[in-house]
């Protein structure tokens, strides 16, 4: 649905986005995760056609951003980082105006505005001036604005930034709701945000993509942690016939107990191999104290990805 290939953006001598590629399929909820200044906003502005790439290509449903910018923009609802909601307008007037900008026909506008107001739970505030709203409500107006033309794709730049915990909760519910009908990309510098709403994460660091993975893949362990009373050479010999093991690494020594991490060729093999590994160790005369799949958190993956680049 969205295909980004070799994307580059420079500002003078500075390369803000450096050869980033990814494909996003219909219905995915993808989190662009990175520290401030990593390049998330720059990528989003290029996908939404508000900033020209210096190099590379972006296509949406086969349309090219350079040639078919307006057609692509009609498919996308965009919440920019600092959504320009007009403070002196009422919520409803602003949304009516935004619907015009989105090209919603006049006869359909009242219904579309009502629909967006209902989805974002803004009914109570509909006739209030935007400058009298809290940040959380103003953010909802920004999201309401992005939904008016019923886009197939939602691109939300830091949608929970500056919100209090209950507003964050509401915004997450809103994103999940919206994701039932649309492909969603959100940007955030908060790991928990991605864990809460996304089914895939793309980590951006200093303009480069350093990780692109499904959340369920990240959660699934690809290492088995084993505690035995044997030194490395004995463990290696005992496990030699289990070819699925790619690497044995000693992690720690505690008295006569040694903890090892067993790494596998395929992520799924860790669990399957566990009984065979237990038997092999016992047959070799080792005492087995503990065995468990390694629990990876997004935090550890994020740190790993950062460390390798
Ligand atoms: P944040 O969460 O702080 O918005 P971000 O990941 O969205 O961060 P970007 O706003 O995309 O990051 O910025 C990426 C890099 O490009 C930063 O180093 C930023 O300073 C730089 N940058 C962005 N816009 C410009 C510009 N107009 N001129 C020069 N440098 C820019």
Per-residue pLDDT of the chain in tens (309 residues, 90 and over written 9)? 999 999 999 999 999 999 999 999 999 999 999 988 999 999 999 999 999 999 999 999 999 999 999 999 999 999 998 776 788 899 999 999 999 999 999 999 999 999 999 989 899 999 999 999 988 889 999 999 999 999 999 999 999 988 889 889 988 998 998 888 899 999 998 888 898 899 999 999 999 999 998 888 777 667 889 999 999 999 999 999 998 898 899 999 999 999 999 988 765 567 788 999 999 999 999 999 999 888 777 777 777 766 655
Separation between Cα atoms, residue 46 and residue 55, nearest integer Å: 11
- CATH number for the region 221-295 comes to 3.30.70.600
**Mutate which of 7, 9, 35, 37 for ligand 1 pocket (most atoms within 8 A of beta carbon):** 37
* Cβ 36 under 6 angstroms from ligand 1: yes
Q: Are residues 90 and 127 in contact, defined by beta-carbon separation less than 8 angstroms? A: yes
* Ligand 1 pocket mutation, candidates 38, 54, 205, criterion most atoms within 8 A of CB: 38
Domain ranges of the chain: 2-206, 221-295
- 2-206 and 221-295 share one CATH topology? no
CA of 92 to the centre of ligand 1 (A): 32
User: What is the largest distance, in Å, between two alpha-carbon atoms of the chain?
Assistant: 81
Q: Return the residue whose CA atom lies nearest to atom 27 of ligand 1.
A: 11
From 8, 16, 53, give the residue whose CB has the most ligand 1 atoms within 8 Å, as the site to mutate.
16
Q: Quick check: CB of 42 below 6 Å from ligand 1? A: yes
Class of domain 2-206: alpha beta
Nearest CA to ligand 1 atom 19: 37
**Ligand 1: nearest atom to the Cα of 11:** 29
Give me the DSSP letters along 127-184.
TSBGGGS-HHHHHHHHHHHHHTT--SEEEEESTTTT--HHHHHHHHHHHHHHHTTSEE
């Amino acid at each position: 649905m969205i295909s980004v290939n070799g994307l580059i953006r420079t500002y003078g001598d500075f390369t803000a986005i450096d050869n980033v590629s990814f494909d996003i399929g219909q219905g995915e909820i993808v989190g662009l995760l990175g520290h401030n200044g990593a390049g998330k906003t720059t990528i989003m502005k290029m996908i939404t056609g508000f900033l020209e790439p210096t190099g590379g290509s972006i296509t949406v449903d086969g349309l090219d951003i350079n040639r078919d910018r307006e057609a692509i923009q009609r498919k996308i609802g965009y919440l920019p980082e600092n959504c320009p909601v007009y403070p002196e307008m009422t919520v409803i007037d602003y949304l009516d105006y935004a619907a015009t900008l989105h090209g919603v026909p006049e006869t359909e506008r009242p219904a579309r505005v009502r629909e967006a107001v209902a989805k974002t739970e803004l009914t109570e505030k509909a006739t209030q001036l935007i400058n009298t709203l809290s940040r959380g409500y103003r953010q909802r107006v920004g999201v309401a604005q992005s939904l008016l033309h019923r886009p197939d794709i939602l691109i939300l730049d830091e949608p929970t930034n500056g919100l209090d915990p209950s507003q964050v909760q509401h915004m997450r519910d809103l994103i999940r709701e919206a994701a039932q009908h649309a492909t969603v990309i959100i940007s955030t510098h908060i790991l928990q945000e991605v864990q809460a709403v996304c089914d895939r994460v793309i980590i951006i660091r200093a303009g480069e993509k350093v990780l692109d993975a499904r959340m369920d893949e990240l959660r699934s362990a690809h290492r088995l942690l084993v505690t035995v009373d044997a030194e490395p050479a004995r463990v290696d010999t005992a496990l030699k016939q289990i070819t699925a093991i790619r690497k044995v690494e000693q992690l720690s020594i505690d008295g006569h107990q040694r903890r090892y991490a067993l790494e596998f060729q395929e992520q799924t093999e860790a669990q399957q191999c566990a009984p065979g590994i237990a038997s092999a160790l016992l047959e070799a005369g080792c005492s087995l104290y503990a065995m468990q799949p390694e629990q990876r958190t997004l935090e550890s993956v994020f740190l790993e990805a950062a460390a390798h680049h």
